[in-house]
């Protein structure tokens, strides 16, 4: 599975950005897709994820501001980010989870059995 992310950039606080991730290869093996966020000096953290049947879950810090969607025909996962804050600055990675995944309870990181795309930088300024 190959993942190609795009859509990062610079925006002022309160603004919006849309990230996209095109997948290819044996995508039928994927159980969930997600977006990780890595701020400078911090570990990568899954902030939004969607199951192969379209159910989503979010980290509390982005609930109500970020929306993850999946287009099965275009094999694309998107992350619509609104009301961005300086804390949203960092590199965002598109990730595919091979293990079974359910969007229940507080969102935690995917298992180690994942595919990763290259990161895309998001910079939010005041």
Number of Cβ within a 10 Å radius of residue 28 = 7
User: 25: which DSSP letter?
Assistant: S
Comparing C-alpha atoms, which of 97, 82, 75, 77 is closest to residue 30? 97
CA distances for 125 relative to 10, 12, 62, 82, angstroms = 8, 5, 17, 14
**Separation between Cα atoms, residue 28 and residue 18, nearest integer Å:** 25
Q: Which residues pair with 37 in a beta bridge?
A: 45, 92
Two structure tokens written together for 102: 């359910």
Confidence of residue 41 (pLDDT cuts 50, 70, 90): very high
Summarised one tens digit per residue, pLDDT across range 59-109 is 999 999 999 999 999 999 999 999 999 999 999 999 999 999 999 999 999
The two beta strands, 9-12 and 120-125, are parallel
CA–CA dist 116, 5 (Å, integer): 10
Between CA 33 and CA 77 the distance in angstroms is 7
Q: pLDDT at position 38, please?
A: 98
The predicted pLDDT at position 27 comes to 84
Q: CB of 96 within 8 A of CB of 52?
A: no
pLDDT tens for each residue of 22-40: 999 988 889 999 999 999 9
């Amino acid at each position: 599975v190959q993942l190609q992310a795009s859509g990062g950039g610079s925006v002022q606080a309160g603004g919006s950005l849309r990230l996209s991730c095109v997948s290819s290869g044996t995508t039928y093996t994927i159980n969930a897709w997600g977006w990780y966020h890595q701020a400078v000096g911090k570990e990568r953290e899954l902030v939004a994820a969607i199951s192969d049947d379209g159910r989503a879950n979010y980290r509390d810090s982005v609930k109500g501001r970020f929306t993850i969607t999946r287009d099965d025909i275009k094999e694309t996962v998107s992350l619509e980010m609104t009301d961005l804050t300086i804390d949203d600055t960092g590199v965002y990675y598109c990730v595919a989870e091979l293990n079974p995944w359910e969007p229940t309870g507080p969102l935690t990181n995917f298992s180690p059995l994942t595919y990763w795309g290259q990161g895309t930088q998001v910079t939010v300024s005041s």
